[in-house]
Chains A and B, each alone.
Chain A
Amino acid sequence: MFNLIPLLIIFPLIGLVINLFWGKQFGEKGVGAIASGAAGLSFVIAVLQLVGLINNSFESVTVPLADWIVIDKLNIPWAFQIDTLSVTMMLVVTGVGTLIHIYAIGYMHGDVRHNGDPARFPRFFVYLNLFLAAMLILVTGNNYLMMFVGWEGVGLCSYLLIGFWFEKGENNVGNARAGRKAFVVNRIGDWAMLLAMFLIFVTFGSLTFNEVFHQAEEMSALNSPVIVAITLLLLVGAAGKSAQVPLYVWLPDAMAGPTPVSALIHAATMVTAGIYMITRSHVLFFHAPISQNAVALVGAITALFAATIAVGQFDIKKVLAYSTISQLGFMVAAIGMGAYVAGMFHLITHAFFKALLFLSAGSVIHAMEHGEHARHEPAEAHGHSAHNQPSAISNQQSSDPQDMRNMGGLWTKLPITKWVYLIGALALAGIFPFAGFWSKDEILLDASKHNPLIYLLLTIAAFFTAFYMGRQILMIFFGQPRTEAAKHAAESPRVMTYPLIALAVLSVLGGALNLPTIFGMHLPGGHALTEWLGHTLGEVEAGELDLIVAGISTVLALGALALSYAIYRNKPATAEERDPLQALGPLFIALNRKWWVDEFYDFILLRPYNWLAQFTANVIDWRFWHDWFHDQVIGGLFNIFARGLAQGVDLGGVDLIISGLPAAISRGIASSFRRLQTGYVRNYALGVFVGVVGVLGYFLLTGLR
């Protein structure tokens, strides 16, 4: 059963190859079916691994496939690590991934037409399958290098998919710029990952998880500098991939990608790679409490910081993007406190409800785009009616389908989307009994026990979380439709809504994965995830429902929802009206401008960097190296040298001896012989005569012998 593990990665690769070469012939349904089928088969394999582990009494298994790099001491196999942690990730990645693949069939059908290039449909699924393969390499590898291969692979796919409509966006390069930003910011994290891997190899002489952790446990010295360095570098790597402060800035821009990408890569799976990586390295972090504190602090600050920014956003996906950063902060904070199970639990539930939210947002956007088209079609049908009311059409020609100010009143238009969106929002806000409540509560519980500061930060972040979700729900679904597009919005097709319903069910029931002990009562199936992951992560304390912690967070969440209701009930009434929170003045502007972090980075990093690049290019490279050194010094010296060679040696020496001298000789000979050829036959005849006389005379004088 474990021998099937390579198929986990091979299935998406097969799907990729088929769609890459023959995708155009299959049509959209065929392409979608192949890609989703590949993802679904991978999910089946992942489930088989789960069954295998249960039969193997949860013992971890390593399945070697091939030697990869064998150089002296460095021995890196291509091997799969199957334990409860990696299987958890496999199930999340393939399960949520499959649902998103199915959803994308419907979403991309509309999206490629909205963006005017239906031929690009198969490419999207090629990228999605490639991403799935890379992500599965990341979570199944049994060494850091294999993980890094997947790590870079998902980064590449993220880049490709953010820039899927690379010719669109601001100034026609906005999306391409967003992709580049994500790639470059991730590069900082990857740089740290590489340094950490080098340090690990230098210190432990291996990159295989088991060997590294085994040796780290034997060192058993707390806070040894090298382990602190390794773990801090790993933290930077995780901060890049999982969008933590200060490297989170790429994730909001990454929303330029199509919505299924935002759901799959930038909410459910890829961005959790950092969480997985730190959890996987928990042995190293255990020996470096300093780094652990740093991890927890980074997570908590990110959670709060991003949650505040989410309050001030108008783009439906930007809100969810900052929400994702904030929730990732929760997870990072949890694993920083050693609550790995709580972090992983939140990772799983978050994958459910955030994928749900993104896909529902995609459904809303889809509906808005549909409304936009539906509004234009009648106008085109009755050609002249457009002439009668030109102002009405040109007025709202370019209403942004992602701007929440353009929505409103969609409650009656989207019968399925509204419910799943509400479920996702309540799960994210942490309302009992949805999945988010249980996982977030477990994190808060751990924080309340271990670190009051973290607890405080996370609790405030949770309050903001509920508030901005309430704000979003109210702005999208309630009040009056604020644009024509919102008035004409229509529900998405079933291929989109069914995955939404599946994810909604998971978002409702996901908490059952790891129910805490309630009132000292051990529920059936309680602590399932704790025990399950305990086989890999060692003994982890089982959570107990703390009424105070749970009560505070629930009251805060409900309070935040109520507050948002009070503020945003029937507001804003029109698309042009100010957001009620704009009464806060500069504070709201700060939130809306994302605390000017992008501008700050622009000021301290990009401008100096660009200036330095300009300087080195124009002054150092061009003026110094090119104009002065190359042209003047090298070129001048070369010219002098060449002139000496040409005139002195070549013309004066070589030419004189090789061509001048023989030429002069032959010219001399020729000029004397030339006189012989007079053209007079008599002269020639005389020559012949003299010759004959000479020969005969010779014979006569010497005798005819």
Chain B
Amino acid sequence: MVPTSYYIILSAILFTLGVAGVLIRRNAIIIFMSVELMLNSANLVFVAFARQFENLSGQVFVFFVMTVAAAEVAVGLALIVTIFRTKKSINVDEVNQLKG
């Protein structure tokens, strides 16, 4: 059986990739996908620990996270579409009107 630490290391790698994607990329959709990546890395950890401790709570949480993520994607994509309509771009650097 694959040791739990492997899953956690993979999860950390995925999470770091997600963070790097969010911080570095400028395309809003890519950023969005990076966020999804971070969420799923967290899911992976949940599942890994659920298997180790033979406790279903972790599995249940994964479902919660997936549903919330689905809803978030729906809202987020709608936002991106709206931004694209007004700006003709989805470059997040151009969305900086909140600067004082």
Q: Chain A: residues with CB nearer than 8 A to chain B?
A: 674, 677-682, 685-686, 689
Contact = CB atoms under 8 A, between A and B. Distances in A.
B96 A685 contact: no
B95 interface: yes
A680 B23 contact: no
Nearest to B19: A689
B97 to A, nearest CB: 7
B51 to A, nearest CB: 23
A680 B96 contact: yes
Interface string B21-61: 01110000000000000000000000000000000000000
A329 B95 CA distance: 112
B97 A682 contact: no
A681 B95 contact: yes
B92 A681 contact: yes
Contacts of A689: 19, 23
A455 B19 CA distance: 137
B99 interface: yes
Interface of B: 19, 22-24, 92-93, 95-100
Contacts of B98: 679
Contacts of A678: 96, 99
A685 B19 CA distance: 9
B100 A682 contact: no
B99 A679 contact: yes
Contacts of A686: 23
B15 to A, nearest CB: 11
24 contacts: A674-B100, A677-B99, A677-B100, A678-B96, A678-B99, A679-B96, A679-B97, A679-B98, A679-B99, A680-B92, A680-B93, A680-B96, A681-B92, A681-B95, A682-B22, A682-B23, A682-B24, A682-B92, A682-B93, A685-B22, A685-B23, A686-B23, A689-B19, A689-B23
Contacts of A677: 99-100
Q: Is the interface of A mostly helix, strand, loop or mixed?
A: helix
A685 B24 CA distance: 11
B46 to A, nearest CB: 18
Nearest to A681: B92
Q: Please name the 5 residue pairs, one residue from A and one from B, whose CB atoms are nearest each other, closest first.
A: A679-B99, A679-B96, A677-B100, A686-B23, A682-B23
Given A674-B100, A680-B96, A689-B19, 12 more contacts: A677-B99, A678-B96, A679-B96, A679-B97, A682-B22, A682-B23, A682-B24, A682-B92, A682-B93, A685-B22, A685-B23, A689-B23
A689 B23 CA distance: 9
Nearest to A692: B19
A680 B81 CA distance: 19
Contacts of A682: 22-24, 92-93
A524 B24 CA distance: 144
B42 to A, nearest CB: 13
Contacts of A674: 100
Contacts of B24: 682
A677 B100 CA distance: 7
A677 B99 CA distance: 6
Contacts of A680: 92-93, 96
A679 B22 CA distance: 16
A689 B16 CA distance: 11
A682 B26 CA distance: 9
Nearest to B22: A685
A685 B96 CA distance: 14
Contacts of B93: 680, 682
A674 B100 CA distance: 8
A435 B93 CA distance: 125
Contacts of B92: 680-682
Nearest to A689: B19
A682 B96 CA distance: 10
A679 B100 CA distance: 8
A534 to B, nearest CB: 111
Contacts of B99: 677-679
Contacts of B100: 674, 677
A686 B93 CA distance: 14
A48 B59 CA distance: 125
A685 B99 CA distance: 15
Nearest to A683: B23
A169 B81 CA distance: 97
A690 B93 CA distance: 20
Nearest to B35: A685
A682 B34 CA distance: 13
A240 to B, nearest CB: 88
Nearest to B97: A679
A685 B93 CA distance: 13
A693 to B, nearest CB: 9
A360 B70 CA distance: 121
Contacts of B22: 682, 685
A686 B92 CA distance: 14
B3 to A, nearest CB: 21
A680 B22 CA distance: 12
A679 B97 CA distance: 6
Nearest to B24: A682
Nearest to A676: B100
A689 B34 CA distance: 14
Contacts of B95: 681
Contacts of A681: 92, 95
A677 B97 CA distance: 11
A681 B24 CA distance: 11
A40 B98 CA distance: 97
A681 to B, nearest CB: 6
B21 to A, nearest CB: 11
Contacts of A685: 22-23
Contacts of A679: 96-99
A682 B95 CA distance: 11
B38 to A, nearest CB: 11
Contacts of B19: 689
A679 B24 CA distance: 15
Nearest to B96: A679
Contacts of B96: 678-680
Nearest to A678: B99
B92 to A, nearest CB: 6
B29 to A, nearest CB: 14
A686 to B, nearest CB: 5
Nearest to B28: A681
B67 to A, nearest CB: 24
A115 to B, nearest CB: 83
A694 B88 CA distance: 38
A686 B98 CA distance: 17
A691 to B, nearest CB: 13
A264 to B, nearest CB: 91
A651 B72 CA distance: 59
A689 B100 CA distance: 22
A117 to B, nearest CB: 78
A266 to B, nearest CB: 91
Nearest to B99: A679
A686 B19 CA distance: 9
Contacts of B23: 682, 685-686, 689
A37 B64 CA distance: 110
Nearest to B98: A679
A680 B100 CA distance: 11
Nearest to A677: B100
A687 to B, nearest CB: 10
